[in-house]
A and B are shown apart, each in its own frame.
Chain A
C-alpha cells in the first residue's frame, strides 16, 4: 500500500479482500487521501466506532459495498432460529479480528431472540486437536454449530472433527466459509465435502441481483472459473471507482494529486446514489453501504458436477425490519 500511495498514477484501489489487511492499509491510504473500495471487508470496527476513527487521520477515504458483521452475524442467528427452528447453538471462533467479531455479534442476536448459547469457545488457527473440542461440544447437546472464522483458520477442520465425533447438526458459518464450490482449491466445500450436508453460510451482500445469470456467464467466459462469493461485489467496486472518476473529471483537477483528491471526494459523497450491478446504493459518512442485505446459502451436493456448491436460499434485509 505504501508503494501504491507513493505512485501518483494510482487514483483509487479496489480491495482489499480481508478485514485484517484493511486494518493495516486504511491508515496508509487515508493519510494519502486515496479512495479504497472493498468488495468484501465486513469487520464492523473498520467503519464504526473509536477503532475506526483511530485508523483515520484525514477525511474518510474507505467505502465498502458489502454490509458489516454487525448485520451479517445477526442474520445467521435469525435464520437458525426462524427458518432452521433450532433454539440452541454451540459457537466456536478462531480468535481473530473477523472471526471473534462476527461470533460475538451472532451470539448477542441469538440470545436476544431467545436462543440458548450452550458454549462460546475459541480455538486459534494453530490448534492441533479439534476432535477433543468437538467431543466437548457434543456433550453439551447443541442443536446447531456456529463457526466464526474462515476456512483457512479452521472452518473445514472443525466440520470434519464434528463429523468424527458424531455431532450431526447444522453447521453455520459466515462468508469466510462461502469460498467456492467443492471444485475450488482450498475452499470449505472442497475440504469438508463429505461432511457438509448440513452446512450453511452467509454472504454480506445480495446473493442474487438483476442480471446475475448473465454476470456469471460473462465471468466464466472471461476468466474460465466460476464467479464465486463476492465476484459481483468486486465488479460493483470497480463501477464505484469509475463512476467517481467520471464525476471527478468534471471538476477539471489540475494535476494527479488534485485528481486523486477529487476521486476521493466524489467516491465518498454521502448524497450520491450509485447504480451498481448489485442495486442502488449510497454510502454513509463511515463508508458503509445503505444496502443491509445478507444472503443465506445451503449446501447442494449435486451442484458443480457432483462436487457440491453453495446454493442460494434466501436473503435477510435488515433495512426492512
Chain B
C-alpha cells in the first residue's frame, strides 16, 4: 500500500520543515551557480553578463516548476489513495486554464494589462474562486460517475477508463474552443518587474511562486493536521481497515479528487497569465510532464510530487537556457528512466505492492 506522505508522523515536523526548506534553498542557489558557470563556460557569455541571466532563468524555472508541481499533486494524491493513475488529470488542468481565461476575458473584455492594483487582485481572486470549485467538482463528478463503479474492477479497467476520460475532455474542449491556440488575457503588466542583481524579476513570477507555495503549504497542513486529512491518510494506508474504524471511504476519495481539481485549476489560471494562450491539447503534454514529476518524486507522496515538479521545471529550463530546447523532453525522460532504474520508488516514495 502506498501512503500519502505523513509528516505528522515524523518525530518533529517543524525541524523537518526547516530542513526541507534549507535543502530547497541550497538546491535552487546551486542550480543558479551551476547555470552561471555553464553559461559563460559553454554558452559564450561573459562572466558578468551570465549572472543576471542565470538568476532570471532560475526565476523562470521556479515558475514553470510551480505549475508542474501543482498538477503533479493531483496525480500523486489520487494514486496515493486509490492507486489509479488518473490520466485525465492533465485535461482537468487544461479545462481549468480555459475556465480562468473565459472568466478574466469575460470581465475585462480584452487582453490588456490591468494596472489598477485593487482590480487586478479582485480579478485574480475572482478567477480562483470561480474556477477552483467548478473544476474541483468536475473532478469529483468524474470520479463518482466513472471511477467509482470500477473501484473493485481489475486494475487495468479504471486505468484505460482514465485514458478514455482524457480523450473525452480533450474533445469537449476541441469542440467548444476549436483546434487552434486561444488567447488568454495577460493581465499582469509586462513592465512590472523588480530589479534584483541585474535581472528583472517580474511580479507575475513572484505571484505564481507564492500562490503555488501557499496552496502547497495549505495542503500539507490540511493533510497532516485536520480530521479529514487524517481520514485521507488512513484510507491511503488501508482502505478496509479505515472503513472499519468509521472513515467514509467514498467521501474521503471524493475529497481527494476535489483537492486535486482545485490545485489543477490554480495551475490553469497561472498558466494562462504567464504564457498568454490556452489550447485543447494543453493537458496532454503538461499532464505527461506532471505525471513524470509525480513518479520522479515518488508517486503517492505529496512532498515528492512538489520536488519532482520543480526538478522537471529546472531540467527544462536548463536545456532552454543553454540553447538545447529541442532536447528538453529527451532529458526529462532520460532522467526519469535513470531514477526508475536505480531507485524505482522515486525520490521519496515507498515500496508498493503492485502498480497499475
Residues A133 and B289 in contact in the complex (CB < 8 Å), given A157-B277, A166-B190: no
Q: Are A166 and B328 in contact (CB under 8 A)?
A: no
Cβ of A313 within 8 Å of any chain B Cβ, yes or no, is no
Query: What's the dominant secondary structure at chain A's contact region?
Result: helix
A193: nearest chain-B partner, CB-CB: B111
Contacts of A128 in B (CB 8 A): 64, 275, 285-286, 289, 316
Interface-side segment among A20-28, A115-123, A275-283: A115-123
B276: nearest chain-A partner, CB-CB: A160
CB within 8 Å of A: which of B196-227?
200, 202
Contacts of A161 in B (CB 8 A): 275
> How far does the alpha carbon of A194 sit from the alpha carbon of B56 in the complex, in Å?
24
B60: nearest chain-A partner, CB-CB: A132
Cβ of A156 within 8 Å of any chain B Cβ, yes or no, is yes
Cβ of B126 within 8 Å of any chain A Cβ, yes or no, is no
Contacts of B181 in A (CB 8 A): 151-152, 156-157, 186, 191
The interface bits of chain A over 169-213 (1 if a CB of B lies within 8 angstroms of the residue's CB, else 0) are: 000000000000000011000110110000000000000000000
Shortest beta-carbon distance, B97 to chain A, in Å? Answer: 12
Shortest beta-carbon distance, B54 to chain A, in Å? Answer: 10
Q: Are B61 and A132 in contact (CB under 8 A)?
A: yes
The interface bits of chain A over 120-135 (1 if a CB of B lies within 8 angstroms of the residue's CB, else 0) are: 0111101111111101
Number of A-B contacts (CB under 8 A): 104
Q: Are A191 and B60 in contact (CB under 8 A)?
A: no
Q: Are B277 and A191 in contact (CB under 8 A)?
A: yes
Cβ of B320 within 8 Å of any chain A Cβ, yes or no, is yes
CB within 8 Å of A: which of B117-169?
none
Contacts of A160 in B (CB 8 A): 186, 275-277
Q: Are A126 and B329 in contact (CB under 8 A)?
A: yes
The residue that B64 contacts in the complex, of A119, A132, A185, with Cβ under 8 A, is A132
The residue that A194 contacts in the complex, of B111, B321, B326, with Cβ under 8 A, is B111
Q: Are A136 and B190 in contact (CB under 8 A)?
A: no
B182: nearest chain-A partner, CB-CB: A191
| Chain A: interface residue total (CB-CB under 8 A) | 34
Cβ of A270 within 8 Å of any chain B Cβ, yes or no, is no
CB within 8 Å of B: which of A128-176?
128-133, 135-136, 139, 151-152, 156-157, 160-161, 163-166
> How far does the alpha carbon of A81 sit from the alpha carbon of B302 in the complex, in Å?
53
Contacts of B321 in A (CB 8 A): 132, 135-136
The interface bits of chain B over 43-59 (1 if a CB of A lies within 8 angstroms of the residue's CB, else 0) are: 10100011001001100
Q: Are B323 and A119 in contact (CB under 8 A)?
A: yes
Cβ of B180 within 8 Å of any chain A Cβ, yes or no, is yes
Contacts of B250 in A (CB 8 A): none
> How far does the alpha carbon of A163 sit from the alpha carbon of B191 in the complex, in Å?
10
Contacts of B200 in A (CB 8 A): 166
Cβ of A95 within 8 Å of any chain B Cβ, yes or no, is yes
> How far does the alpha carbon of A122 sit from the alpha carbon of B325 in the complex, in Å?
6
Shortest beta-carbon distance, B215 to chain A, in Å? Answer: 20
> How far does the alpha carbon of A123 sit from the alpha carbon of B190 in the complex, in Å?
23
Contacts of A156 in B (CB 8 A): 181, 277
Q: Are B64 and A129 in contact (CB under 8 A)?
A: yes
Q: Are B323 and A121 in contact (CB under 8 A)?
A: yes
> How far does the alpha carbon of A157 sit from the alpha carbon of B43 in the complex, in Å?
24
A159: nearest chain-B partner, CB-CB: B276
Contacts of B190 in A (CB 8 A): 163-164, 166
Q: Are B57 and A132 in contact (CB under 8 A)?
A: yes
Q: Are B276 and A129 in contact (CB under 8 A)?
A: no
> How far does the alpha carbon of A157 sit from the alpha carbon of B111 in the complex, in Å?
15
Q: Are B325 and A133 in contact (CB under 8 A)?
A: yes
B326: nearest chain-A partner, CB-CB: A122
Q: Are B326 and A191 in contact (CB under 8 A)?
A: no
Contacts of B317 in A (CB 8 A): 129, 132
> How far does the alpha carbon of A131 sit from the alpha carbon of B58 in the complex, in Å?
12
> How far does the alpha carbon of A156 sit from the alpha carbon of B180 in the complex, in Å?
11
A120: nearest chain-B partner, CB-CB: B323
The interface bits of chain A over 248-281 (1 if a CB of B lies within 8 angstroms of the residue's CB, else 0) are: 0000000000000000000000000000000000
A139: nearest chain-B partner, CB-CB: B53
Q: Are A135 and B56 in contact (CB under 8 A)?
A: yes
Cβ of B230 within 8 Å of any chain A Cβ, yes or no, is no
Shortest beta-carbon distance, B80 to chain A, in Å? Answer: 25
Apart from A121-B323, A127-B325, what 5 extra A-B contacts exist at CB < 8 Å?
A95-B326, A129-B313, A129-B320, A132-B316, A139-B45
Question: Which chain B residues have a beta carbon within 8 Å of chain A's beta carbons?
Answer: 39, 43, 45, 49-50, 53, 56-57, 60-61, 63-64, 111-112, 178-181, 183, 186, 190-191, 200, 202, 274-277, 285-286, 289, 313, 316-317, 320-326, 328-329
**Can you list 14 contacts pairing A with B, beta carbon distance less than 8 Å?**
A95-B326, A122-B325, A123-B320, A123-B326, A124-B326, A129-B275, A129-B317, A132-B64, A135-B57, A136-B320, A136-B323, A151-B181, A166-B190, A166-B191
